[in-house]
Amino acid sequence: MNKEDIIIALKEAVIPDEEYYIDNEIIDAMLEYPDPFQFVKPILDIISQNPSVDFGSPGELVHFVEKFYKKGYEEALIESVKKNPTFHNIWMIHRCYNDANCAFHNDFLSLINEIKENPSTSADIIKAIEMFNW
């Protein structure tokens, strides 16, 4: 599978208000791809653009992107959350924030505070933020 085929398969697996499921064949293709980091941003976009989808706890996509923790994932996650915070990506930020030794620890907190203080942030996102200890 080429990159475009994989991204199409990831997007086609999205079913609103349903649990996200992706075939192991797609996950394997991503892992075998010469530069699998290229899938991090598209995956984060899928998560941020589909707030009604149950991506799991954490789910296959989060497990995949977290393979790039401290290898560029944090910056991509921050960028994604800035564009469109959702319950799932706020939770993903909190997972990273829990590592006090992460170079982006303070950046995560600043981002969360910006979102929380933004008057256009929905009550649902504020509630999601307040579910976690920051």
pLDDT digits (tens, 9 = 90+) for 79-128: 999 999 999 999 999 999 999 999 999 999 999 999 999 999 999 999 99
Q: Name the pTM for this structure.
A: 0.94
Which of 89, 103, 95, 107 lies closest to 133, judged by CA? 95
pLDDT digits (tens, 9 = 90+) for 33-90: 999 999 999 999 999 999 999 999 999 999 999 999 999 999 999 999 999 999 999 9
Percentage with pLDDT > 70 across the chain:
100
Amino acid sitting at position 15: I
Angle, helices 73-83/40-49, rounded to nearest 10 degrees: 30
